[in-house]
Structures are given as structure tokens and as C-alpha cells.
Structure 1
Amino acid sequence: MGRNKFPLLIYIIIGLAVIGLTASLIRNPGSFLMSILVMIGIGFVVFLIFSAIVNKRGHGNNDDMKKYRKAAKQSNLKYNKNQPKVRKSMRSDSPIRPKRRRKHVTHLTVIDGKKTNNKNSDRASN
């Protein structure tokens, strides 16, 4: 029963909020729009402050990040140098189809075991 009350309570709160917003919009639309814009502005300022704090703490120009960027650059230079260049074909009219790989059939062998017709040794019936 406790599970069903929680969504019902949420629906009631959302319904009351919609009724309140509608009534505020009907009574005084100018102040309603002004309050909405103020809320959006405050939210934007809070977001900018929060993102500035997180960026300073998590990222930045600290020594570890500089070392990481240098290592990544060296790695890209090392591994991108050996890649063959792709040549463009003369026929650009036909669509390029990748070659299909054939699936190799696994060769299975059957090993014959002891086949007795004795009903007592049949495991399925026991």
C-alpha cells in the first residue's frame, strides 16, 4: 500500500502546481512572466557558479593534466604515423560494399560410446 501512495501524492502535487500556475497566469500574466524570467535567470547564475567551481576542482592546468595531454599527443603521433592512407577508387558511381567474410564451419566429430540395449543401465528411466 505504501508504494501506491507515493505516485498518487506526486500526481496531487503536480496537479496543484498546474492549477496554481494557471490561476497566476490568468490573474496577472505580466508578473507571472516576470517571475518565470527571474527564476530562469537565477537558475542560470547558479549553474554558472556551480560549473565554474566544478571545472576548477576537476580540470584545469595542473601538472597531472599537462603530463596526460603530452602523453596523449605523443601516442597519437606514434600510432597515427603507421596507418596506411586510404586511396580513393576511380569508380565513385558504385557504392562501396565491404567484403563478406565466410564463416568457417566447425568440424565436429561424433565419438561412439558404449551402446547397450540393457534397460537397467538407461539413466533416463531411473
Structure 2
Amino acid sequence: MIKKRRLSPFLLITLTLAILGLANTLFANPSQWVKNILLFIISAIIVYSLVYFFIIRKRHNKDELEKYRQAVKQSKMRQKKRQQSQISKVKPKRVNPLSKRKTTNPPHLRVIDGKKASKKRPMSL
């Protein structure tokens, strides 16, 4: 059974009064309404940025970030070393077409000899 979430009476009354106040300001003084909305948006952005920079940002451990950066550097160094060693090991080889034929894989099918000798010879006249 799914229960519908109901708003608490306090929240419902607060939202109703806020909507009525905004509607009243919109019809009575539209320029003041625009100023109020802009002021609300700007203050919300400021509060969010303050909370982010002073609380949320500090939650991320700086040591983890440093460890990650160190791991990335080590990984890049290892890749460079591998590439340099592979470049120095690679030597151009001449490929002989006859040896290329020899190294091919044998076929997976084989011929099974049947009973050829057991065939009866037809009668000759």
C-alpha cells in the first residue's frame, strides 16, 4: 500500500501565506516584487557559496587529493619508462616469406584413412 506524503500543517500554512504575500506584492507594486525576488536569489547564492566554501569544501580530505595526484604522477612516469624501453627494444627484422609459411598454424582437420583394402573387386568377365 502506497502512502501519500502529506505536508505538515505548519509548512502548509507558511507556504500559503508566502504565496499570498507574493501575489499581493505582484499586483500592488510589481517593481518591488522584482526587487524582492532578485534579493532572495542573490542572498540564496551568497548563503550557498559561504556554506560550500567553509563547510562542504573542508570535508574533502586534502591528503586524499595529494595521494591521488602522487599516484597520477607515478602512473605517468611508469608509462613513460615502458614506452622508452619498448622503443629501444624494437629492432626492424626482415621477414622471409618461406619462414612465414612455416610458422602458420596447422589445419585443425585431418584425414582419416578408411578401409580401402576391404572393398570387394567387381567380378570380371
Pick the TM interval, shorter chain. 0.3 to 0.5
Structure number with greater CO (CA < 8 Å, separation at least 6) is 2
Bigger CA radius of gyration: 2
